[in-house]
Amino acid sequence: MDNNNLEQITFGGGCFWCVESCFNMLKGVHSAISGYSGGHKDHPTYEEVCTGETGHAEVVQITFDPKIISYAQLMDVFFFLHDPTQLNRQGNDIGTQYRSVIYYKDDAEKAKAEEALKTSEASGKWSGTYVTEVTQFEKFWPAEQYHQGYYNVNPNQPYCSAVVGPKIQKFKKHFGELGMLNEA
């Protein structure tokens, strides 16, 4: 991978444990890091974000090589992994920290995000109105170290085995058939 030409994208699609795990399996993704964006407190902790009072969303910041995986492909994965019609929740995870959000860094990236949103909504994959925010990126705060690669270390934790594991299996089947996954 050519580290000089890497790009980043930051978005939230519910609990970051699943989103991070899936993106780290994709060809062309250099890293996917769980963290927090969109809030008003510097250096928030997981416990603070969980209260909903800091304004942050649980997000994943993805560093990728656009020569291997495109922004549009990353957006396809993003909309595959979560339900963008659920306001401030994903399944039983409820609160503004679980909102669907794409953070953009400039007008060109904003236009790409809005186009990806329209394309996904027009696909009919999810019934209902999309509530995904397209918001100016300000700051990314990495989550605590124990959140990084959480599913890989804790696959038998009850939430992981009941929610994250099945979602990852569905992801691996679909994107594996498309040839988008790294060799295991």
> Is there a domain that residue 2 lies in?
no
Residue-level pLDDT at 2: 57
160 given a catalytic annotation: no
CA atoms within 13 A on the CB side of 82: 37
| Alpha carbon distance 155, 44 (integer Å) | 26
* Reported confidence tier of residue 6, pLDDT bands at 50, 70, 90: very high
| Domain presence at residue 59 | yes
For residue 38, the enclosing domain spans 7-178
Q: Does residue 1 lie within any of the structural domains? A: no
The residue-averaged pLDDT of 124-145 equals 96
**pLDDT band for position 92 (50/70/90)?**
confident
User: What predicted TM-score, i.e. pTM, was given to this entire model?
Assistant: 0.94
- Report the number of distinct structural domains present in the chain: 1
pLDDT at 183: 84
Q: Residue 54 sits in a domain of what CATH number?
A: 3.30.1060.10
Residue with tokens 């209260």: 51
pLDDT reading at 131 higher than 70: yes
Tokens standing for residue 62: 């993805």
List the one residue out of 64, 87, 79, 72 whose CA is nearest residue 19.
Answer: 79
Q: Please name the residue that has the structure tokens 């909309």.
A: 79
pLDDT, average across residues 102-130: 96
Inside any domain, residue 71: yes
Q: Which of 15, 18, 22, 160 is catalytic?
A: 15
Average confidence (pLDDT) over 78-107:
95
Report strand pairing: 57-64 vs 89-90: unpaired
